[in-house]
Amino acid sequence: MAGVELEFAVFTREPFGFQRIAGEAGRLRRLGMTLRAIGAALGVDEKTVRNALRRPSQTDAHWDG
């Protein structure tokens, strides 16, 4: 049998901001913090926090600051 060489590119990207903070934002929200306070603590705006809490987490990854 003859071998066939395959070559392909693998692209990676950083997660979106809301994906990066989702775990920590959820934890802080359960502690009773406001969206604005969570955003200030994590260095993002209130809208990013809202998106992180609204969308289901695809991984168990947590914010690594």
More confident site: 1 or 55: 55
Compute the residue count for the chain: 65
Q: How far is CA 49 from CA 8, 12, 61, 65, in A?
A: 36, 24, 16, 14
Q: What's the pLDDT tens digit per position in 5-59?
A: 888 888 888 888 888 899 999 999 999 999 999 999 999 999 999 999 998 665 4
- Domain boundaries defined on the chain: 17-54
- Look at residue 62 and tell me whether its pLDDT is greater than 70: no
Residue keyed to tokens 């060489």: 5
Give the model's confidence band at 2: pLDDT under 50 very low, under 70 low, under 90 confident, else very high: confident
Residue 60 CB burial class (10 angstroms; 0-12, 13-18, ≥19): exposed
Q: What is the pLDDT of residue 60?
A: 47
